[in-house]
Copies of this chain bind each other. A is one copy, B any other.
Amino acid sequence: MATKHILIVPGDGIGQEVTAVGKKVLDKIAARFGHTFTYDEALVGHAAIEATGNPLPDETLTKMRASDAILFGAVGHPKYDNDPSAKVRPEQGLLKMRKELGLYANLRPIKLFDELLDASSIKPEILKGADILFFRELTGDIYFGDKGRKNNGDTAFDIAEYSRFEVERIARKAFEAARTRRKKLCSVDKANVIETSRLWREVIQKIAPEYPDVEVEHQFVDATAMLLIKDPRRFDVVVTANLFGDILTDEASQIAGSMGMLASASVGDGTGVYEPIHGSAHDITGKGVANPLASILSAALLLDISFGMKAESEAVITAVDQVLKAGFRTRDIANAQTPADMIKGTDAIGEEVLQRI
Are A250's CB and B223's CB within 8 A? yes
Nearest-neighbor residue (CB-CB) of A127 within chain B: B121
Bound form: Cα–Cα A60–B301 in Å = 56
Chain A interface size, as a band, is 35 or more
Given A156-B161, A157-B195, A190-B243: 20 more A-B contacts, CB < 8 Å: A80-B192, A81-B191, A81-B192, A81-B218, A82-B205, A84-B197, A84-B202, A142-B160, A142-B194, A145-B157, A147-B194, A148-B195, A149-B199, A151-B163, A156-B162, A156-B198, A158-B195, A225-B247, A226-B251, A226-B254
The residues of B that contact A95 with a CB separation of less than 8 Å are 193
- Number of identical protomers: 2
Chain B residue nearest to A198 (CB atoms) is B84
Could you write out 26 A-B pairs with CB less than 8 Å apart? Answer: A80-B192, A81-B218, A84-B191, A84-B197, A84-B199, A89-B192, A91-B193, A121-B126, A122-B123, A142-B194, A143-B194, A145-B157, A148-B195, A154-B163, A154-B165, A156-B163, A157-B159, A158-B159, A190-B246, A221-B246, A222-B246, A222-B249, A222-B250, A225-B250, A226-B250, A230-B254
Q: Is A313 an interface residue (CB 8 A)?
A: no
CA distance A95 to B190 in the complex (A): 14
Chain B nearest CB from A93 CB (Å) reads 12
In the assembled complex, the Cα of A198 lies from the Cα of B81 at a distance in Å of 9
